[in-house]
Amino acid sequence: MKVREEFTCPLELVHDMIKGKWKPIILWRLRLGPTSLSKLEKDIDGITQKMLLEQLKELLEYGFVEKKTYEGYPLRVEYFLTSDMGMQILEALKIMQHIGIRYLEANGQGSILAEKGIAPE
**Per-residue pLDDT tens digits for 41-88:** 999 999 999 999 999 999 999 999 999 999 888 889 999 999 999 999
Global confidence as pTM: 0.88
- Provide the 3-class DSSP secondary structure of residue 76: strand
**Per-residue pLDDT tens digits for 1-53:** 666 778 788 888 888 889 989 999 999 999 999 999 999 999 999 999 999 99
Q: How far is CA 113 from CA 17, 38, 57, 78, in A?
A: 28, 25, 31, 29
- Provide the 3-class DSSP secondary structure of residue 37: helix
Assigned architecture for domain 10-116: Orthogonal Bundle (1.10)
Asked if the peptide bond before residue 120 counts as cis, ω within 30 degrees of 0, the response is: no
Query: Which residues, at least 6 apart from 81, have a Cβ–Cβ distance to it below 8 Å?
Result: 27, 30, 31, 64, 65, 66, 87, 90
